[in-house]
Structures are given as C-alpha cells and as structure tokens.
C-alpha cells in the first residue's frame, strides 16, 4: 500500500477511486436498463450512462492537470453497491413496478456514493488551488446530483405509486377470494336440544 504524505497525493488517491467507480458504472448501468420496465426510468438510465462515459473522460482530464497518468484502484464501496444491486434486481417480483422501485433505489445508492466522493475531492482540490481540477469535477458533481433528483422524481410520480397500486390490487383480490369462499364466516351449526332437534325447529313446532 502506497504512503500518502501530502494533500496532493490524497487527491490523486481519491481520483483513482472515482476513476474506478465511473468505469464500473459504465458496465453496471446497462444491466439495470435491461431490467427496467418503466420507459421513463429506462430513458433516465440511458441518459446517465452517456453522462457516466463522459465522467470517465473528465477524471482522465483531472489526472492530466495534475501531471499524472489516469489510473484506477479497486473501489470496495462501489463494488458492494453494484453486487447488492445485481442481487436485488435479479430476485423474482410479482409486478414489474416493484423491480423498478428496487432499480431506482440501487441507482441512487451509487449516486450518493459518487456525490460524496466528488464533494471530498473538490474540497481538497480547492485547498490546493487547483482551479482547473475543481471546475472539471464540479461539472460532474452537478450532473450526479441532477441524476439523483431525476430518479427521485420518477419514483415519487410513477414507479412507487404503481408498486403501491399493485400491492393494493393484490390485497383486494385476496379479500374477494376470502369472501367468495365463505372464509371467516361461522360454520357452526345451531345448538340442539336433548332430543336432537335444533332450537330453531322447536320454536317452529310450538307455533303450529
């Protein structure tokens, strides 16, 4: 493990992490796109994939501004997020809107990780007076925030509502099934007297 002995080295190490994040996401996002059922969600993921590919280029520009060759180091954080996303999205869902809700949650976890990573790198670049690096990274940070906001908008206006409607419909079907089968009704026969006749029959007999 390399020794970090300066703020510049710290920034370079952070860029290596971010570089790995962006490159992994260029491979992970298409998998989410294939699983997405909602057209608006699929389009949002497709648009952000194009942005992510540009983000890779920007990180390379930041390395260049520092006089370094772009190089990544394995990022355990994004590896865990992607692995968890693949696991959850691959589960069986009774309704596509439920999977879409999971896709949004997974994508936003990645966005939040990136927002934190870029925010830290920008803060250190500002301390070092690296205006070119700051400008480059801030452009990407704004796009990450916009992507996160777009996912929230889709979730609140479409996907989560569809998922909730699907759940309510399932509950209504179950209630209708219970009602139709007589489930929940008392199936006990009327009480009988000692001679074996029901009390209802005895009352009828007295009225004759």
Residue 191: which pLDDT band, with cuts at 50, 70 and 90? low
Measure the CA–CA gap between 141 and 199, rounded to whole angstroms. 81
pLDDT digits (tens, 9 = 90+) for 40-99: 999 999 999 999 999 999 999 999 999 999 999 999 999 999 999 999 999 888 888 899
Rg for the chain, CA atoms, rounded = 30
Q: Which domains does the chain have, with CATH numbers?
A: 7-170 (1.20.1260.10)
Measure the CA–CA gap between 17 and 75, rounded to whole angstroms. 6
Q: Which whole number is the average pLDDT over 144-156? A: 96
Measure the CA–CA gap between 133 and 135, rounded to whole angstroms. 6
Q: What is the DSSP letter of 89?
A: H
In this predicted structure, the answer to whether residue 206 has a pLDDT above a threshold of 80 is no
Q: Is 196 left (phi over 0), alpha (psi -120 to 50) or beta?
A: left
Give residue 157's pLDDT.
84
Least confident stretch, 1-5, 81-85, 95-99, 167-171: 167-171
Phi first, then psi, for residue 41 (nearest 5°) are -65, -45
Per the CB < 8 A criterion, the answer to whether 94 and 166 are in contact is yes
The better pLDDT of the pair 38, 177 is held by 38
**Alpha helix positions (H), 66-95:** 76-89
């Amino acid at each position: 493990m390399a020794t970090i002995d300066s703020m510049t080295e710290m920034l370079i190490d952070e860029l290596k992490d971010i570089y790995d994040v962006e490159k992994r996401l260029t491979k992970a996002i298409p998998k989410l796109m294939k699983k997405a059922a909602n057209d608006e969600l699929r389009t949002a993921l497709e648009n952000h994939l194009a942005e992510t590919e540009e983000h890779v280029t920007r990180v390379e520009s930041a390395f260049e501004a520092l006089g370094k060759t772009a190089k990544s180091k394995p990022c355990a954080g994004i590896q865990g997020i992607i692995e968890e996303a693949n696991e959850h999205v691959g589960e069986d869902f009774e309704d596509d809107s439920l999977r879409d809700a999971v896709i949004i949650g997974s994508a936003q976890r990645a966005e939040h990780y990136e927002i934190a990573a870029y925010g830290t790198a920008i803060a250190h670049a500002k301390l070092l007076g690296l205006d070119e690096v700051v400008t480059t990274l801030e452009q990407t940070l704004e796009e990450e925030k916009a992507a996160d906001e777009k996912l929230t908008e889709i979730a609140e206006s479409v996907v989560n509502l569809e998922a909730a409607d699907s759940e309510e419909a399932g509950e209504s079907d179950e209630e209708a099934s219970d009602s139709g089968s007589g489930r929940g009704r008392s199936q006990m026969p009327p009480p009988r007297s000692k001679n074996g006749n029901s009390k209802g029959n005895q009352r009828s007999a007295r009225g004759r």
